[in-house]
Structure 1
């Protein structure tokens, strides 16, 4: 008997670095479900007009909307719910409590300054993609991981809707740092959660920093691994001189500046999700070299 197709199994050999979705900010909305393929647009508890206004507001501010719930939660606990606004570039994470779903339409989603109603949240948050209506891998593999991680890190752990990159399930996002991870099992999930508490990353599972373009993501992951660094702020981006994804990315660490040469390479067409019957090409970033910049020290 033929086993059902699973995109994350088929893509087990594909490189992950540089595959994080690029997003300036994130709005997280407590929402017990059910979650559809297009989670916000298909919400049964957010009025249609509110969904439309929220989506337009989020797009205008470069904010990605994610619906979140505690692992295993499927029914609403009451009318009051939390929303979080994260801006990874500044490391800011804010929260407010709303009463009534219509209030979502009037949220201030400005990322550069804290708007009315928002309060600082101590964080951090660890989001595990479990949106099975979007991709089977996310539910089949993601939900057990979310439950296992929540048993160790109950305050930090949430299930979330689509993070991008089903083929790298289990997909995880940490906030406020905006680090995207893939192929996360329960043990790795706990390690990532403990690392984000310390202001660190786990390079072995890192897909990239969502504030960076894909080639910069790949360069940062490679340099973290090369230098053995784990602090989330260990590297500062100095310059990106790539053209169409290939070229040089320069970072500064405590030891000086480092140049990472990256090359964009086409990946053979493949199904990008379990439900996608059409094979599509994708791009991978090969790191050609990592070297200290002349004049360091």
Structure 2
């Protein structure tokens, strides 16, 4: 079933605008994934990028299977305004978003099918994927979702962000295929840290990039740290807001105990430990379409702070 058409003269539905109007909570909305594979492909991508893009026969499906077996996320990437060139070398990245010691590796492939040789399982286990390690203050990748065929909001809101970031940080900026959370467009993930940001515009995205270079977070737009499950993401954001902590290493989750929809997360911060209790539910009053293509309203996911206790 497809969404009902709009009336003549009526603006088309946009899930990101509706999310902003509802003031959907943003904390605790990032996908939970630690291992990443990024393969350069100038596009077009299609709705399901790995399956719809013009990759060598069978490569997209094989990459999906490889990522699934390694509990990884495989994405296509491209430079802003890049043009397809079958003869050009292909960049590939492998990242492990450890919350304490994230790692990034990279290489250049003569044939995109060589991406199947990247050892994601070894990377996840603490070794190398077979690519070269990337170090230094400029290693962070600003990955902006612009996959408009998946959701139009990603293109409309993502491309201006990619343009602004590409001008300021040309080597670190990539457009990427679908990363999840269409209604939070413009969306960006910072790798290898696995930091999801949402409801960005060009100015706020530049602010996030500048903060990242200082080793800091921007809480107003932080969806969560992908290395944690969603309630832990929310607990980290709540504690950081309570204590005013913005530094990347300032807070670390050490334990989670769940009881139904309640999660008590133990976090270290400022030399002390805190228990943060979060209730994760779906709103009984706020409903909406989570994507532009959705055919019906759904309850909005909510993480509610119950209490913060210093141990």
2:274, 2:43 → 1: CA distance?
A: 46
2:271, 2:253 → 1: CA distance?
A: 14
Which of 251-260 and 274-283 deviates more? 274-283
Q: Does 1:281 align with 2:296?
A: no
Q: Which residue does 1:42 correspond to in 2?
A: 52
Q: Which residue does 1:95 correspond to in 2?
A: 106
Which of 176-185 and 186-195 deviates more? 186-195
Asked whether the equivalents of residues 145 and 179 of structure 2 are also in contact (C-alpha less than 8 Å), the reply is yes
Asked whether the equivalents of residues 79 and 100 of structure 1 are also in contact (C-alpha less than 8 Å), the reply is no
- Cα deviation 1:44-76 (Å, max 9, x = unaligned): 12322x222222111111110011111111322
Q: Does 1:33 align with 2:51?
A: no
1:3, 1:264 → 2: CA distance?
A: 33
- Cα deviation 1:89-142 (Å, max 9, x = unaligned): 130000111111221222211222333631111311011110000001010111
1:245, 1:88 → 2: CA distance?
A: 26
Partner SS, residue 49 of structure 2: coil
The 5 Å alignment of 1:199-278 reads 199-267=215-283, 268-278=286-296
Asked whether the equivalents of residues 29 and 82 of structure 1 are also in contact (C-alpha less than 8 Å), the reply is yes
How far residue 281 of structure 1 moved from its aligned partner, in angstroms, is 3.2
Q: Which residue does 2:120 correspond to in 1?
A: 109
2:271, 2:30 → 1: CA distance?
A: 27
Q: Which residue does 1:64 correspond to in 2?
A: 73
How far residue 244 of structure 1 moved from its aligned partner, in angstroms, is 3.5
How far residue 290 of structure 1 moved from its aligned partner, in angstroms, is 2.2
2:61, 2:202 → 1: CA distance?
A: 36
2:84, 2:260 → 1: CA distance?
A: 46
Moved over 4 A (4+): none
Asked whether the equivalents of residues 31 and 76 of structure 1 are also in contact (C-alpha less than 8 Å), the reply is no
Equivalent of 1:119, from 132, 137, 141? 132
Q: Which residue does 2:3 correspond to in 1?
A: none
Q: Which residue does 1:10 correspond to in 2?
A: 18
Asked whether the equivalents of residues 195 and 225 of structure 2 are also in contact (C-alpha less than 8 Å), the reply is yes
Q: Does 1:181 align with 2:197?
A: yes
Partner SS, residue 11 of structure 1: helix
Where structure 1 has 5 or more consecutive residues not aligned to the other structure, the ranges are none
Where structure 2 has 5 or more consecutive residues not aligned to the other structure, the ranges are 1-8
Q: CA RMSD in A?
A: 1.5
1:256, 1:233 → 2: CA distance?
A: 14
1:116, 1:158 → 2: CA distance?
A: 21
2:141, 2:34 → 1: CA distance?
A: 17
Asked whether the equivalents of residues 24 and 300 of structure 2 are also in contact (C-alpha less than 8 Å), the reply is no
- Cα deviation 1:154-187 (Å, max 9, x = unaligned): 1111111111001011111001111101111111
1:228, 1:200 → 2: CA distance?
A: 11
2:143, 2:150 → 1: CA distance?
A: 16
Asked whether the equivalents of residues 217 and 247 of structure 2 are also in contact (C-alpha less than 8 Å), the reply is yes
Partner SS, residue 274 of structure 1: coil
